[in-house]
Structure 1
Amino acid sequence: MEWNLRTCARKGHTTYRPDEPAFADRLRAQTPVGLAWRCLRCGDFVLGDPVASGPAQDAPVLLRGRALRDATVLRLLAVERIVRAILLTLVGYAVLRFRRSEADIQELFDKAIPAAKPLASVLHLDLDNSPTIAHLRHLIHTKPSTLLLVAALLFGYAVIQIVEGVGLWLLQRWGEYFAVVATSIFLPLEVYELTDRITVLRVGALVVNLAAVIYLVSTKRLFGVRGGRAAFEAERHSASLLEVEQSAELPDCERPRYELSEGELPDREPSGNP
């Protein structure tokens, strides 16, 4: 996928006129239908006035190429965190509702088990020794104070997931740090759960969270990895000015030229290097 063109198609091109004449001359092209300026994100030439102007060093810092891909990955992780927070909130709410109506649920449970035994016999199910029934009995007889603690922990975990999701969606560096720390804290618990029983859901959650930690630390250079924040910012800044610097170094023979016969007009905007 061409991430630069995809983003420009969705958000529009970002053209910039540097104050330095040498740079400005390299970023513009004269066409029979007017002046065209080069997009700093995708490199296409766009007809019309530039979106902004100023010194070349103040050109907008744009996400390009791999940075755009990384932003998409982070926002997918953010969506996963938000969905998880919603599920945790719903479970916590269900626990609170169960705590308030514990007596009614226990009475219903005591009536439902005997009534279901004839059907269970036909299906060759032993309800008296069923692990599921045992877990339900244990849950029903759980102290209200314990259920309140469980609900509080679920809501707290949901808040952590929301903070992670917001930070990752906004592409904030604090959000990346928060996501790595918060996710790493729960990794030992997920490993411990696998020692109790291995399920597809548990394995999948562990793989996703472990991959997210490794990806964030490596690509975002967190905790001083691969040069840390200074290297990360330098990489972003050089990428954002890549078109300006490369265009300034192009020889005249490689500059875009548009030659049309008299009276002929192009049927589309000039783009790329013809």
Structure 2
Amino acid sequence: MDFALRSCSWHGHETYAPDEPALRARLRVDTPAGEAWRCLRCANFVPGPPKTSGPADEAPEVPRGRLLRDRVIMRLLAVERVIRALVLILVAVGIFHLRTSKTHVKEAFDNELPLIRPLADQLGWNVDESKIIKTIDNTFALSSTTLAWLALAFLLYALLQLIEAVGLWLVKRWGEYFAVVATSLFLPLEIFELFEKVTVLRVVLLLVNIAAVVWLIWSKRLFGVRGGGRRYHEEHSAESLLTVERAALLHSGTLGTDAPVSSGPTDVTR
């Protein structure tokens, strides 16, 4: 998949007219239909005036190549975190509902349980030894205060998932660190659950979280890995189309050697 063309088809092309004449000439061509400017994302020439203009150092950061692919992966992780948060919120709402009407819910459960026994027997499911049924019975035995704290714990966990999702979706450096730390804290719990009982869902969720942590640390150079934030920023700038064109001008001698060769923000903490 050409992620650049896909992104341009969704969000439009990102054209920019730098003030530097030599660099400006490499990004602009004349056509029978008028001027055309090179997109900073997909590198194709787009008819019409540039979207924005100014010094090359003030050009917008437009991810392309591998960085654009990484952004897609991060946003897929963000969507997965949102889905988790919604499930946790639903569980918390259910616990709060159980807390306020525990007697009524227990009566309804006790009345319905005998109705499912014939079907359970045909399926070979021993209701009396079912862990799900035992967990529900134990939940009914919890006090209102305990249920309230349990619901708040689920809501707190959901909040952490939403913060992760926001940071990952916006592709923020703090979001990458937050996702790694928050996900790593819950890995021991997920491993302990596997020792208790192995299910396909638990295995998949654990593998997704481990893969996300390893991928974020390695690809985003977190915690000083592979050169840390400074090397990450240099790699980010090297992918910029303006940086590539500047390097070509320097190689040909068209651009003065005293001109800067980096483009975009220079905040190495990102």
Report the TM-score range of the alignment, normalised by the length of the smaller protein: 0.7 to 0.9
Tell me the C-alpha RMSD between the 2 structures: 2.3
The residue type paired with residue 248 of structure 1 is L
Partner of 2:246: 245
Match of 1:17, SS state, is strand
2-structure distance, mates of 1:48, 1:178: 42
2-structure distance, mates of 1:120, 1:30: 75
Change (3 A) 1:125 1:245: closer
Partner of 2:218: 218
Change (3 A) 1:113 1:64: closer
Corresponding position: 1:188 with 2:185: no
Give how far 1:16 is off.
2.1
Gap runs ≥5 in structure 2: 253-270
Change (3 A) 1:54 1:143: same
Task: Tell me how many residue pairs correspond in the alignment.
Answer: 251
Match of 2:42, SS state, is coil
Report if the CA contact (8 A) 1:79-1:165 is conserved. Answer: yes
> How far does the alpha carbon of each residue in 1:130-155 deviate from its partner, in whole angstroms, 9 at most, with x for none?
44433322222122222111111001
1-structure distance, mates of 2:217, 2:125: 50
Partner of 2:65: 65
Partner of 1:46: 46
Change (3 A) 1:111 1:16: closer
Report if the CA contact (8 A) 1:64-1:239 is conserved. Answer: yes
2-structure distance, mates of 1:130, 1:12: 55
> Percentage identity across aligned positions?
49
> How far does the alpha carbon of each residue in 1:174-208 deviate from its partner, in whole angstroms, 9 at most, with x for none?
11111110000000000010001100000000000
Match of 2:239, SS state, is helix
Q: Which has the larger radius of gyration?
A: 1
Gap runs ≥5 in structure 1: 252-274
Report if the CA contact (8 A) 2:238-2:244 is conserved. Answer: no
Report if the CA contact (8 A) 1:26-1:247 is conserved. Answer: no
Specify which structure has the bigger relative contact order, considering alpha-carbon pairs within 8 angstroms and separated by 6 or more residues.
Answer: 1
Report if the CA contact (8 A) 1:61-1:236 is conserved. Answer: no
Give how far 1:219 is off.
1.1
Corresponding position: 1:6 with 2:6: yes
Partner of 2:37: 37
2-structure distance, mates of 1:27, 1:127: 71
Q: How does 1:1-274 map to 2 (within 5 A)?
A: 1-113=1-113, 127-240=127-240, 241-245=242-246, 248=249
Give how far 1:71 is off.
0.7
Change (3 A) 1:130 1:174: closer
> How far does the alpha carbon of each residue in 1:115-173 deviate from its partner, in whole angstroms, 9 at most, with x for none?
66677677776544444433322222122222111111001101101111111111111
Change (3 A) 1:181 1:12: same
Change (3 A) 1:250 1:40: farther
Match of 2:60, SS state, is coil
Give how far 1:28 is off.
1.9
Match of 2:37, SS state, is strand
2-structure distance, mates of 1:110, 1:13: 61
**What TM-score, normalized to structure 2?**
0.84
Report if the CA contact (8 A) 1:85-1:157 is conserved. Answer: yes
Report if the CA contact (8 A) 2:88-2:158 is conserved. Answer: yes
**What TM-score, normalized to structure 1?**
0.83
Higher alpha-carbon deviation: 222-231 or 140-149: 140-149
> How far does the alpha carbon of each residue in 1:69-106 deviate from its partner, in whole angstroms, 9 at most, with x for none?
11111111111111111110110110111111112223
2-structure distance, mates of 1:3, 1:116: 51
1-structure distance, mates of 2:251, 2:48: 22
Give how far 1:113 is off.
4.4
1-structure distance, mates of 2:36, 2:104: 74
